Structure 1
């Protein structure tokens, strides 16, 4: 196989693979605006949505390297504060 044919075949293969990856990533984007379970930010606010049937304790990490703990009720969404103040929130244990 000539060098020119090898380059042409490789280029076409890479172009096709790139298109397939782009299409897959686009197709995986959710269309609904439903809030996810767990920590999320919406606009300038931070929230924790608990989708379970129990009351749980979450740890809230803040921008200044401090943490707080809060109990979150079953199937509820809790406002945690401004998104610039809250870094993350994560499940710890049952309350």
Structure 2
């Protein structure tokens, strides 16, 4: 593969990594907030013992779980891009 093409792919990869890392930082904040909210809602449901509160707690937990899943996907994508970056750097240096 031509060196210029490898450099171009490295640049694109680095740009995408930067975007994903920024997204991950936002997701970390959101997960922390939603997880805390889900815990509070579950505690309120436990104390109030009403069907509405239990349903609200279930919904809050589902939202937190969905965001956790999204976060895991972003982490996996970052790992793949880092591996691709290593591969491209190896090609560029001729190793």
TM-score computed with the length of structure 2 as normaliser: 0.36
Structure ranking higher in helix proportion: 2
Bigger radius of gyration among the two? 1
Bigger relative contact order, structure 1 or 2 (CA pairs below 8 A, ≥6 apart): 2
